[in-house]
Structure 1
Amino acid sequence: MSVDPAPSSKAQTGRFDITVWGARGTLPGSGTSQTAFGTETCCVEMRIDGHRLVFDAGTGIVPLGRAILTEGASSVDLFFSHTHYDHIVGFPFFPPLYRAGCGITVSAGHMLDGRSCEEIVSDYMRAPFLPITPKIFAADVDYRTFAAGEALFPHPGITIRTARLNHPNGAVGFRVEHGGRVAAYVTDTEHRPGQPDEGVLGLFADADVVFYDTSYCDSEMTKCRGYGHSTWQEGIRLARAAGTRRLVLYHHAHTRDDADLAAIEAEAKDIFPGAVAARTGMTFSLIGPDGPEADHVDGD
């Protein structure tokens, strides 16, 4: 699938490419009925002028890690939206962690109990849950803890704005700004009907691409209230209110098969033409080698 949205009027520079490595939530998918949209859990890569930003470390981060080593890259900035299992289960198996000479920065800001990012990782990677600890890593790993709402500056020319999300145990959404283009990663958040979250609207505002938690449909929310997730209809309401160009339906419920997701995508497109359901392997170029005319999305 290739779609060319209207060019943005914003000033542009360099490259800004996005790849989906995992789009499922809660559990990986399984079986042939889920292959079109992919079975891996949450992981999105943004490559900006040679810098690699990775959001979440679900099972999708494992094939990403293999690709990084094959490419010969040596630097990664990893950001956790939060540390529920579906978002970190791939972290101990991320191949660059075991390659000397790799530099990996791991950042988190969702914690509500005062623990640091390094403490969270150490608590996860220990017996009896795993037979290894972070001490086994050969890479140079730098852990950073930030406060939700804080702006981050991982590299010159890249700004990441953050906001607290409504999710059990806390979660953080990210807005990546570079060269006049904006991509937001807003997953694992529960909306309040008729009360748009101002922090979430700020992440969406005039964005070129937003990955949004669309685990449910509006009709399912009554029985799912309190789980910490949202709907594709709410994503459209937010995108319209905030002037978002493209809405990526993300964090697919592990129970949905390809037919379910294709039907949801079609209905969403009828209402908001800029909607698309995330698929493993889907790529976006916000700024290509020739500038804004390279703006496109490639999927299946």
Structure 2
Amino acid sequence: MSAPFEVTFWGVRGSIPCSGPATARYGGNSSCVEMRCGDRRLVFDAGSGIRQLAATMTGPQEFDLLFSHFHYDHVIGLPFCAPLYRPHTRCRLWGGRTGMETGVRQVLSDFMAAPLFPLRLDFFAGNLSFHDFRPGESIDLGDGIRLQTAALNHQDGATGYRVEFAGRAACYVTDTEQPEGRLDPGILRLIDGADLFIYDCTYTDEEYPAHKGWSHSTWQEGMRLADAAGVGTFAIFHHDPGHDDDFMDGVAAQAEQARPGTIVSRDGMSLML
């Protein structure tokens, strides 16, 4: 029996967390996705959803936290990740140098500094290590986990990830905009034949012209990428905070008709690859 490869969505919104009865079913937390590769835990982004993930992490913990980029909606939950305050936690934090020379440690230190937040980065009592890389690099995480990375087209830069483990592959590609009139060749290479493709679907094709240049994509564009790359399951992700549950139901219905098996991610949803 092959080792388990499980993906859980803890935050699926983009731009800003949103809560209330209109978003209760799909969820209002900002980006956070967990991948369990056997006994290893990889966490992608520290949006507000990481607080719910942290509540499940009792006792000594070891995990990798990988950032797509450092806009507030993707780091806002970091100070509320309870295991980081425990001395028996070991966490490796990863970030791509995307058009800036400042490393992940300095970026997060600046974020958790006056007057933006009352607790400093050094309040974390866990054993933290900080790792910078250039998007496009391949990283061996050990335990049979291989990480491929790619630069994304996003304001201030962003990184897309492909996790390969036990003969399967899951891709986390959020906060990007497709080149006009064509599909991003770097993303196509990254997601080629992947079992799961999680993608920034902030807008619809109809909404996109009013937001061109805002560094986000559409679920239809994600579907075109998935089809071109021979992806297994396509996961719609990074929902616009203005898209309530009824709107997302409509997207889910259209997506299922256009590409059966497509999923619309929800807070708390788990998939076994």
Which residue in 1 is equivalent to 2:56?
67
Matches for 1:1-300 after TM superposition, within 5 Å? 13-69=2-58, 72-286=59-273
When residues 132 and 279 of structure 1 are mapped into structure 2, their CA distance, relative to the original with a 3 A threshold, is: same
Cα distance in 2 for partners of 1:112, 1:41 equals 24
When residues 85 and 233 of structure 1 are mapped into structure 2, their CA distance, relative to the original with a 3 A threshold, is: same
- 3-state SS of 1:28 partner: coil
- 3-state SS of 1:218 partner: coil
Contact 1:174 1:186 in 2 (8 A): yes
Cα distance in 2 for partners of 1:61, 1:202 equals 29
Contact 1:56 1:80 in 2 (8 A): yes
Cα distance in 1 for partners of 2:200, 2:231 equals 15
* Offset at residue 110 of structure 1 (A): 4.2
User: Which letter maps to 2:135?
Assistant: A
User: Which letter maps to 1:212?
Assistant: Y
* Residues 232-267 of structure 1: per-residue CA shift (max 9 Å, x gap): 000110010000011100000001100000100110
* Offset at residue 223 of structure 1 (A): 1.0
Q: Structure 1 unaligned runs (5+)?
A: 1-11, 287-300
Q: TM-score, normalised by structure 1?
A: 0.89
* Residues 60-112 of structure 1: per-residue CA shift (max 9 Å, x gap): 0011111112xx34101000000000000000111011011100100000431
Q: Which has the higher contact order (CA 8 A, sep 6+)?
A: 1
Cα distance in 1 for partners of 2:114, 2:171 equals 35
Contact 1:22 1:41 in 2 (8 A): yes
Contact 2:60 2:88 in 1 (8 A): no
* Offset at residue 144 of structure 1 (A): 0.4
Cα distance in 2 for partners of 1:237, 1:118 equals 36
Cα distance in 2 for partners of 1:274, 1:238 equals 15
* Residues 164-195 of structure 1: per-residue CA shift (max 9 Å, x gap): 00000000000000111010000000012331
Cα distance in 2 for partners of 1:61, 1:31 equals 19
Cα distance in 1 for partners of 2:204, 2:180 equals 13
The runs of at least 4 aligned residues of structure 1 exceeding 2 Å deviation read none
- Identity percentage of aligned residues: 42
Q: TM-score, normalised by structure 2?
A: 0.98
Cα distance in 2 for partners of 1:229, 1:276 equals 19
Contact 1:188 1:228 in 2 (8 A): yes
Contact 1:163 1:174 in 2 (8 A): yes
Contact 1:110 1:164 in 2 (8 A): no
Aligned length: 273
- 3-state SS of 2:105 partner: helix
User: Which letter maps to 1:183?
Assistant: A
